[in-house]
Amino acid sequence: MNIEFKKTYNFEIPNVSFGDITTEHVYSILTDGRLASHFLERQLEIWFPDLEFVDGKGYDHIDKKGNLYDQKCFTKGGCKFMPSNQIGKGRYFDEEVAHEHCSNVAYIVCDIVDFPKVKVRFEHGFFLIEEYPKCSISFAKRNHFFT
């Protein structure tokens, strides 16, 4: 599949299992962005063959043209697209650093709220900071973002 910006892709991930845990429990676990991201980063390479996963670089994927992508999950808490080292307990949002990062990458926003249904949207970082300068999209804006 080719990457198109500002387009929402819809996928369904069937047959997710882990050991003897029920499918429903696995689905529940994979609505947590911290956990789902590890799987989605690899799945995105399959859905979008131009992407290559890279680890520990400050971004998650690179395409064949050298463009950088950071994958973020949209959950019931919304979507925070600042650098990962600014997300989580005890960490703080540094707007200047976050905006600089956003200006250098594109984002792959994956909606996992209704997992195993997954929505995927590619957006340029500079567009996101214009629309959401605090690098956070509230859950209330979820439908607007994906339409």
* pTM recorded for the entire structure: 0.91
pLDDT given at position 52: 96
22-31, 33-42, 45-54, 77-86: which has the minimum mean pLDDT?
77-86
pLDDT given at position 95: 75
What CATH number matches the domain at 8-145, 3.40.210, 1.10.3470, 1.20.1300, 3.40.50? 3.40.210
Task: Please list the alpha-helical segments (H only) found in 4-109.
Answer: 23-29, 33-47, 95-104
Distance separating alpha carbons of residues 120 and 114, to the nearest angstrom? 12
pLDDT given at position 91: 67
Mean pLDDT of the chain: 91
For residue 101, give Cα distances in angstroms to 78, 91, 96: 20, 16, 9
Q: Domain residue spans in the chain? A: 8-145
Q: Specify burial of residue 106 (Cβ count, 10 A radius: 0-12, 13-18, 19+).
A: buried
Question: Does position 38 have pLDDT exceeding 60, yes or no?
Answer: yes
pLDDT given at position 86: 56
Instruction: Give the tens place of pLDDT for each residue, 99-143.
Output: 888 888 999 999 999 999 999 999 999 999 999 999 899 999 999
Question: Does position 24 have pLDDT exceeding 80, yes or no?
Answer: yes
pLDDT given at position 74: 95
Answer yes or no: are the C-beta atoms of 137 and 18 closer than 8 Å: no
